[in-house]
Amino acid sequence: MTRTLANTSDLPLDLDALGAWLREHGGMGDHDMVNPRLLAGGTQNIVLRFGWGERDCVLRHPPAKPRPNSNKLLAREIRVLSALEGAAVPHPRLLAARSDLSEGATIFYVMEAVDGFNPTVQIPAVVRDEPALRHRMGLELMDALAALSRIDPIAVGLADFGKLDGFLERQVDRWAGELHSYARFEGWDGPAALGDVDRVGQWLTDHCPKSMQAGIIHGDYHIGNGIFGEDGGLRAVVDWEMATLGDPLVDLGRILISWPDGDAVKPQTMRVAPLDGYPSRSEMIARYAERSGRSLDDLPWFEVLACYKLGLILEGSHARAQAGLADMATGQRLHQSAIALLDEARKIIAGA
């Protein structure tokens, strides 16, 4: 029988049924689930850690009230984690997955637990006190991203994982459409407070790179989606639900716009402390160029795109807050970050 802790008693999960499925279909052996406990950060999905035989495991399962695309996103995570098996990209090992939606079943998967720390939650004293360890953390983020860029999607069974034709050309319309969709939230101030968003979008359209070297994109690559050891090593890149195919420089642009450089702290700067010790932006770029072998001639375009995309996504939280559907303090904070990101985009454009 499954043994539960008090904090799992209200879960919309039948842990006995889950354990039975793992024994019968998961290929993980005839064991019982022990010491299940909820993990922090499961806002989009239920994240449950438990023991199974000699293994420590983590379940990702849709919430009690799933998003319309919950199953789809988890199915994509399952595919990309399967494809990464044996790759040089640190990632949680996929142990079992239910991806069959027959009879209204819910998609979920179990991965091997990765011990370590998330720097945006808490940094151990040994890492906080040693700048050289933080320096290693930044470089290992670049090494993993470069390793991801070298994977051939076709060779790992992801040929149909994303639409490559016109990928870069579609980005402006995709995210401009997202911004305009916020008009459905009554009370939203509209895009005017973000400045001339259309000018940023037009620059992206006018300067879109003529070609790209396709690969796998994580989709939300930043330090908060890394699990690190106390030696500064990157043990796993997590949260692959936004992964797709396209130009891997999208991920590089995303991490660079939040990366600290000197003493300048901006609203979009990664939320870790202390900020010193990490590699400079120029070190990060040089490391990626060396390890990936990719041309970075169009890097300013990808940084502008990252500012544009993330800024418009964050404004969605502000729009929902103004409609009374989200916390107003959080909405205001993210609104200020959106303004800062679009201002950063304009500075990059001016320098380009």
If you search the block for the tokens 């320098």, which residue do you land on? 351
pTM (2 decimals)?
Answer: 0.91
The pLDDT of residue 40? 66
Question: Does 276 lie in the same domain as 160?
Answer: yes
In a domain, 337, yes or no: yes
Question: Does 173 lie in the same domain as 87?
Answer: no
Q: What's the rounded Cα separation, in Å, for the pair 302 and 307?
A: 9
Question: Does 157 lie in the same domain as 178?
Answer: yes
Would you state the structure tokens that stand for residue 129, as one six-digit string? 């006190």
Would you state the structure tokens that stand for residue 294, as one six-digit string? 């990719």
Question: Does 134 lie in the same domain as 71?
Answer: no
pLDDT tens digit at each of 352 positions of the chain: 333 444 556 677 888 889 999 999 888 899 999 999 888 655 578 889 999 999 999 999 988 777 778 888 899 999 999 999 999 999 999 999 998 776 567 899 999 999 999 999 999 999 999 999 999 999 999 999 999 999 999 999 999 999 999 999 999 999 999 999 999 999 999 999 999 999 999 999 999 999 999 999 999 999 999 999 999 999 999 999 899 999 999 999 999 999 988 767 788 888 899 999 999 999 999 999 999 999 999 999 999 999 999 999 999 999 999 999 999 999 999 999 999 999 999 999 999 8
Q: Which of 48, 77, 112 is the last residue of a domain?
A: 112
Question: Does 196 lie in the same domain as 158?
Answer: yes
* Total domains present in the chain: 2
In a domain, 266, yes or no: yes
Q: What's the rounded Cα separation, in Å, for the pair 212 and 175?
A: 20
In a domain, 130, yes or no: yes
Would you state the structure tokens that stand for residue 154, as one six-digit string? 């076709």
Question: Does 160 lie in the same domain as 96?
Answer: no
Helix (DSSP H) and strand (DSSP E) numbers for the chain: 10, 9
Q: What's the rounded Cα separation, in Å, for the pair 56 and 71?
A: 24
Q: Which of 54, 77, 112 is the last residue of a domain?
A: 112
Would you state the structure tokens that stand for residue 191, as one six-digit string? 């895009």
In a domain, 209, yes or no: yes
In a domain, 120, yes or no: no
In a domain, 295, yes or no: yes
Q: Which of 83, 112, 141 is the last residue of a domain?
A: 112
Question: Does 133 lie in the same domain as 22?
Answer: no
Q: What's the rounded Cα separation, in Å, for the pair 314 and 268?
A: 11
What range does the domain containing 17 cover? 6-112
Question: Does 201 lie in the same domain as 137?
Answer: yes
Question: Does 203 lie in the same domain as 313?
Answer: yes
Question: Does 77 lie in the same domain as 179?
Answer: no
- Tell me the CATH number at 84: 3.30.200.20
Q: What's the rounded Cα separation, in Å, for the pair 19 and 36?
A: 11
In a domain, 150, yes or no: yes
Question: Does 129 lie in the same domain as 43?
Answer: no
Would you state the structure tokens that stand for residue 240, as one six-digit string? 């692959």
In a domain, 1, yes or no: no
Question: Does 299 lie in the same domain as 153?
Answer: yes
Q: Which long-range contacts (CB under 8 A, 24 or more apart) does 332-336 make?
A: 333/267, 335/193, 336/267
- Tell me the CATH number at 172: 3.90.1200.10
